[in-house]
């Protein structure tokens, strides 16, 4: 439910062309996400930025892989540069 409401809000901001507010919302939401499952449900929020900056798609993939590895307690925990 939470992910659906946040996604609806993000869609409204995106459709209104309020991309700065959308970016701030997405950043805050992702920083406050406490579980892997919720993080996965909220991942589509970032997809809205790809048309404006296509290279961000690759950065999302790399960052998601890093977070997944970190949460599993495996491998390198050095933060990737984006």
Per-residue pLDDT of the chain (82 residues; tens, 9 = 90+): 788 898 899 999 999 999 899 989 988 988 888 887 887 788 888 888 888 888 888 887 887 788 778 778 765 556 555 5
Q: In degrees to the nearest 10, what's the CA dihedral of 66, 5, 56, 76? A: -10
Residues in contact with 7: Cβ distance below 8 Å, sequence separation at least 6, in sequence order: 42, 44, 45
pLDDT at position 76: 59
pTM: 0.65
Give the per-residue pLDDT at 80.
57
Contact 52, 19 (CB under 8 A): yes
pLDDT of the residue at 75: 59
């Amino acid at each position: 439910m939470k992910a659906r409401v946040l996604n609806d809000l993000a869609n409204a901001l995106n459709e209104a062309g309020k991309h700065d507010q959308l970016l701030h919302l997405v950043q805050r939401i992702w920083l406050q996400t406490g579980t892997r499952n919720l993080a996965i449900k909220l991942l589509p929020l970032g997809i809205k930025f790809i048309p404006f900056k296509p290279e961000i798609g690759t950065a999302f993939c790399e960052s998601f892989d890093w977070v997944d590895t970190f949460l599993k307690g495996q491998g390198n925990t050095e933060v990737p540069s984006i």
